[in-house]
Structure 1
Amino acid sequence: MELHNASKLQASYASALFKDGRSGIVMIAKGSWPIKAPENTRPCLLPESEALPIQETDTFTGEPGLSAPVYENDFPSVKPFCDVIMHACAHAPQGKSAEQVQVGLEVSNIAKFFVVTGACKWTKWASLTPPQPFTAQPVSYDLAFGGTDLTQQDKGQVKVCMANPVGRGFMPLHPFKAIEGKPGPQTHETGKPVVDPSLNYAPQSFGPIARNWAPRHQFGGTYDQHWIEQVRPFLPDDFDERFYQCAPPDQQTAYLQGGETVTLHGVSPEGTLTFKIPENAVYMAVIDHHGTEHVLSPQADTLIIEPELNRFSIVWRANWPVHRTPEEVDTILVGTPTRGWRHARMTGKTFVADKGKRIG
């Protein structure tokens, strides 16, 4: 199987297992653009050296499973919706230090806002100290409300904030005297500050959520004795493809079509940032072992925004079922091949690109 990339995007493929038990191939194309382009110029695709690479594995801010996810691998077989992810810092207006800043993300039907505060600690009365002023403060699930309370693990009691097991501030088993000095959460819903470590609050961040976090984990299906005896190695009957969505539910939207306006609030010294999704049509196709070309319909199902790096990235995805073996597919095409490439293929010759033109 050959991948021929005639586009300027990064491209790759991997094997896939679909919900109905079929095997197949998932193909992706990925590109990055600047959020802020030079004045009066059209944003151009960033060179591969500056672009967000294709992710083959999950990455985290620290130890996997004990810290916040950063990038999830790019190869789920399908995503029913578009994930919108943002890695950002909250910036105080005009660069003047502030104790809290409201941040926000708007695109399509997504309009998410919450408050970011400076560092704070719990007191022995189970209240939070005033937040420390800041000019720039990272936004992460590591700093959001959540956590895992192991205080009484020796008694067989463990409490987990399933919406964010790696956060801070969730301490329902802690005695008051053990709370003093513990770091408090640095994000909260607008108008709903965290005031009690024994209560549950909605964790606030823009990053991805892990597969074993709520509510994502509920879509993974049931792996019981029936599955072991009757279904394995296929996916369980109640598996839901929404399990592949890594964005929080309030950061999922319809597939991007191009031309959508994205507005970011409070995540830049300039205040508000606005950019448009490029109107790029990505050609994808597979050529089977008979030489027939099957045109696919890739969908833009992942948007990753990184204001601190002045870039945003988009992933397009398509898939193709394999009936017997992967050898049924001879060539995967990303981007429209040149007439020269097609002629060389038809005549059995080796295609050589013009100097300086990327072909794969």
Structure 2
Amino acid sequence: MKIIKPAPLGILTRPYRAHGREHLGIAIPVMATLGATPQIVSESELWNTVGDELAGYTLDAAMPKSHAEFLVSANAYGKYCERGHRGDRANTCHVGIRFAGVEKQLRVSGERNWNGNTATAAKPFESLRIDWPHAYGGAGYADNPVGRGFSSAIGDDRNTPSLLPNIEYAANALTQRGQHAAPAALTPIAPSWPQRSALFGQLDEVWHEQDRPGFPRTMDRRYFNVAPLDQQLPAHTALPDGAAYEITRLHPEREVIAGVLPALRARSFIQRRQSELLTEIAMRLTTAWFIPHRERVVMIFHGVAEIEAFDAHDIACLLIAAEASSQARSAEHYQRVFELRMDRQHGALHALRDSDLMPASTAASTPADSTRDNAGTPGDPSQGAWQRNLLNRARSLADEAALSAQHAGIPFPADAFATSPGPTHAPRLDDLAEFVQRQEQLASEQRAALDQTRQRIENEHAAHCPPTAPRRGPPTLPHDNTPPVDPIDPVYSVQAGMADMAREATLKLRQAYRHAAHYQEAAPRLDANTAAARTIRNRVITLHANGESLAGLDLTGADLSGLSLRGALLSDAMLENADLTGADLTGATLSDAVLVRATLTRATLRGANLSRANLSLAHCDGTDFDEATLDGALFDRTQFHRCKLRRASVERARFSQCRFDSVDFREARLSDLAFIEQAFQHVDFSRAQIRKLALIQCTAEHVGFSEGRHSRLCLHRHLGGRYPFRSRHVAPGRLPERQRAGSRRLLARHAQRGELPSSQREGRQFQPCEDRPMRLLRCLPAQRQSARRADRERLPGAHRSARREAGRCGLDRRLSAGCRSARRKPARSESVSRQSRRSFAG
């Protein structure tokens, strides 16, 4: 249930059943100041004050009350005590409250004891809480079992001192031992005391058959009135608007506090599910809770709505508001407010505007409001200086731009910054939604103007310059065509510096091309029958035959198919879209090479060094990468089909949207890799050494990880496949959230058939699957020797231990029960010690 409310109002709700129907009780507490001109205070102050002053009491049960009442949480103060006949303080004072036509006066005394049949003089006090523990009562006195003074009235030893009540009715004060008195206080009555419990009704057979677990039909609604009877107003279902009060001697500084309650009216609306309209719930002001020493009063409005679900799940939204009793707003107004606050784009901004749901006349101004009102004015020098600094900075930037344009010979319009809005006032929270909309409109207009300017500049540029071709192929590298200079010539140092800059620029261009070649348009492939293609091919053959380096050559689109380039040095070579079909590159060095879109069908790169090479969009069909080094290589949308990567080293390589079909990773070293949204089919990771490998949201079918060393292997949110594990060593890892039943088969094999238990268990961890309510597992450490013996002998005690641990850890019963199907008759009867348990802990 979504709650829409202004900041000052609190909200309490309680679903309940009465007379066989479901109801939702609604209570709206609001705190105001005491005095002739009351102001509403914030909700945070409301709950802070309630927590400090109402300790041990519930502010409200959110249940509709039969009639109005008032409560007082207060202290009496010794400074108001009366003077005795000798002029000294008698340590006794009278306090009281007059509210809504009801007057209550109490007598408060310091600590007193019965000494025989005579009461001792009252002791001085600074302040005394007016509550039930200080009123008449005590153990055995049902109407106030937490009070004092009752034991002296039921025949206790008269020679034993006994406390007298501190709070009494002035007309019913105790005068002799054994006398009874009515308890007197201003705070709520406990629900277990007979004053209220007698009204609860009978929990009889009718209740058990028809109303359980709701309230009994015989309940008297007065049960929810918690104030003493002389603080209830049975003739009034609600307190009158602007009710007057006068509080006497309950404030440490002010002897009398007089004023009126704010003339407020609460409004409450609910939106039922499958409906866009609001339904109003009638609210009544039934409770006023005074806290005079804080100069605060909490007014509580009550209402009730009939609902369908026992937990009010059929209510989608509850909107509450307060308004002046003389200025009622229409239901259409609140419907508009509801629609504005439910708006997905600007609803959060409208939620800050309390003026739609609160009367302006009673809202207390906040320091933030006054700060915003004075922004940029002499009354707020700090805010004004901040805005002046911004404007001065803008003018300085404009002057610098004009000066730069003047030196460059570019005309600079004098009114370029004429549209500056100048100093503005910071918006109020109530105006923030309109302010943001104006700023968005202004930003939209400025973006449109910027687009027009950009288009005009592009049109002017196109009129004077020829169109540029799309970027493709390697960059044009700078060439050093300057004639040589004698080292003793003064120009030599300058020329050397320029040469260094050229080399650095070349290096940066090559690096940028290597990292981004797959984002460009494809470079054209040379036709093998053209003279240019034959020239490049023959040059490569000649250089390699002479043992010369091929590093850094531009072989873009070259036809190198079928060539034997064993041990060739091709680092930094540019081989984009080159044809290497059937080429033999065994032991070649291709570090930092660009092989984007290269055709590597049936190519042999056994033992080749491809560190940091870019093989994005390459087509690898039947390619042999056995024992190759692919550390730091880049694979973006690369296709691997029937490829061999046995004993290859792949560390910190980057894979994106690749496809692996019938790929052999056996005995490979895989480290610090993340396969995100890749496709795996018939991929074999057997005996691979895996460290920090993550397969996230991949589609996989027939992927094996048998007999390898796995450290921090993560399989997350897979779409299918089965993963046989017969690991020799499994370190901490996770296999969570597989979406098909294959996950259940995987985990059942682990728990029942002992495939993973044959490994050394070092904190392996599983997390719940999305489609199965499984609690999955973390292996407990086990001693290697005991684990091997349990695996070798397949003892039933191991299965019993697994089931026992599964039940202890709350595993899914189907998982733990599956252990029974995996039993085999043991060779001999033997139990397994705790240290060798092959169990899973969640």
Matched, 1:267 2:250: yes
Larger mean Cα displacement after TM superposition, 203-212 or 213-222: 213-222
Q: Which residue of 2 aligns with 1:83?
A: 69
Q: Which consecutive unaligned segments of at least 5 residues does structure 2 have?
A: 83-88, 322-332, 358-842
Structure 2 counterpart of 1:217, from 188, 191, 197: 197
Structure 1 counterpart of 2:156, from 175, 189, 196: 175
Change in Cα spacing, 1:284 to 1:230, as seen in structure 2 (3 Å) is: closer
Return the alpha-carbon distance in structure 2 between the equivalents of residues 356 and 228 of structure 1.
48
Q: Alpha-carbon deviation of 1:137?
A: 2.6
Query: Alpha-carbon deviations, 1:147-171, whole Å to 9, x = none?
Result: 11xxxxxxxxxxx222211000001
Return the alpha-carbon distance in structure 1 between the equivalents of residues 74 and 281 of structure 2.
34
Q: Which residue of 1 aligns with 2:792?
A: none
Change in Cα spacing, 1:53 to 1:246, as seen in structure 2 (3 Å) is: farther
Q: Which residue of 2 aligns with 1:248?
A: 228
Matched, 1:163 2:143: yes
Q: Which residue of 2 aligns with 1:21?
A: 20
Q: Which residue of 1 aligns with 2:241?
A: 258
The 5-angstrom pairing of residues 182-201 of structure 1 reads 182-201=162-181
Return the alpha-carbon distance in structure 2 between the equivalents of residues 196 and 223 of structure 1.
42
SS in 2 for 1:267: coil
TM-score for the superposition, normalised by structure 1: 0.81
Change in Cα spacing, 1:355 to 1:6, as seen in structure 2 (3 Å) is: closer
Q: Alpha-carbon deviation of 1:281?
A: 1.8
Asked whether the equivalents of residues 277 and 335 of structure 2 are also in contact (C-alpha less than 8 Å), the reply is no
SS in 2 for 1:353: helix
Q: Alpha-carbon deviation of 1:247?
A: 0.3
Asked whether the equivalents of residues 126 and 176 of structure 1 are also in contact (C-alpha less than 8 Å), the reply is no
Q: Alpha-carbon deviation of 1:55?
A: 7.6
Return the alpha-carbon distance in structure 1 between the equivalents of residues 80 and 166 of structure 2.
21
SS in 1 for 2:132: coil
- For 2:4, give the aligned amino acid: H
Return the alpha-carbon distance in structure 2 between the equivalents of residues 176 and 344 of structure 1.
70
Return the alpha-carbon distance in structure 1 between the equivalents of residues 351 and 202 of structure 2.
54
Asked whether the equivalents of residues 188 and 226 of structure 2 are also in contact (C-alpha less than 8 Å), the reply is yes
Q: Which residue of 1 aligns with 2:347?
A: 351
Matched, 1:5 2:5: yes
Matched, 1:330 2:316: yes
Q: Which residue of 2 aligns with 1:51?
A: 46
Q: Which residue of 2 aligns with 1:145?
A: 136
Change in Cα spacing, 1:354 to 1:175, as seen in structure 2 (3 Å) is: closer
Asked whether the equivalents of residues 143 and 167 of structure 1 are also in contact (C-alpha less than 8 Å), the reply is yes
Change in Cα spacing, 1:184 to 1:163, as seen in structure 2 (3 Å) is: same
Asked whether the equivalents of residues 17 and 211 of structure 2 are also in contact (C-alpha less than 8 Å), the reply is no
Change in Cα spacing, 1:339 to 1:324, as seen in structure 2 (3 Å) is: closer
SS in 1 for 2:306: strand
Asked whether the equivalents of residues 93 and 271 of structure 1 are also in contact (C-alpha less than 8 Å), the reply is no
Change in Cα spacing, 1:199 to 1:356, as seen in structure 2 (3 Å) is: same
Query: Alpha-carbon deviations, 1:163-220, whole Å to 9, x = none?
Result: 211000001445325x622221012221322134544311111111101223222101
Change in Cα spacing, 1:344 to 1:301, as seen in structure 2 (3 Å) is: closer
Matched, 1:103 2:95: yes
Higher relative contact order (CA 8 A, sep 6+): 1
Asked whether the equivalents of residues 243 and 261 of structure 2 are also in contact (C-alpha less than 8 Å), the reply is yes
- For 1:9, give the aligned amino acid: L
Q: Which has the higher helix share?
A: 2
TM-score for the superposition, normalised by structure 2: 0.37
Return the alpha-carbon distance in structure 2 between the equivalents of residues 198 and 207 of structure 1.
26
Q: Alpha-carbon deviation of 1:343?
A: 4.4
- For 2:285, give the aligned amino acid: A
Q: Which has the higher strand share?
A: 1
Q: Which residue of 1 aligns with 2:107?
A: 115
SS in 1 for 2:254: coil
Matched, 1:279 2:286: no
Return the alpha-carbon distance in structure 1 between the equivalents of residues 48 and 267 of structure 2.
20
Return the alpha-carbon distance in structure 2 between the equivalents of residues 352 and 270 of structure 1.
43
Matched, 1:32 2:31: yes
Q: For the pair shown, which has the larger CA radius of gyration, 1 or 2?
A: 2
Q: CA RMSD in A?
A: 3.0
Aligned residues: percent identity? Answer: 20
Return the alpha-carbon distance in structure 1 between the equivalents of residues 239 and 179 of structure 2.
37
Asked whether the equivalents of residues 259 and 277 of structure 1 are also in contact (C-alpha less than 8 Å), the reply is yes
Q: Alpha-carbon deviation of 1:5?
A: 0.8
